[in-house]
Amino acid sequence: MNTFSLPVKITHQEAELVLTRFNESLKALKATDLKTFVVDASDLKEFNSSALALLLAFKRQLQSKGFLLEVTHLPAQLHNLAKVYGVDVFLRLA
């Protein structure tokens, strides 16, 4: 399965490094019958709106490669922040 784990902290300072790591993982994308790429947020504890910006960037990049984004274990506070900004719909968060 194609997966990427978010780090413990994502703020503006960490965003560029996380995006670089994500892009490196995309280079290793495996062609499978499953067209979903999973981003695991279970380690994410400290974040701000930069985390949402990254998730949206991930989604755009994955869509350009024909993959869907699935975010698992999203912290409740980040989910609420996505609702406030109105991007929960774009990220397909329930």
Over residues 14-61, the pLDDT tens digits come to: 999 999 999 998 887 766 667 889 999 999 999 999 999 999 999 999
Predicted TM-score (pTM) of the model is: 0.90
64 pLDDT more than 70: yes
Element (H, E) at 68: strand 68-72
21: CB partners within 8 A, 6+ apart = 4
Phi-psi region of 78 (alpha: psi -120 to 50; beta: other; left: phi over 0): alpha
Name all domains of the chain by residue range, CATH numbers in brackets.
3-85 (3.30.750.24)
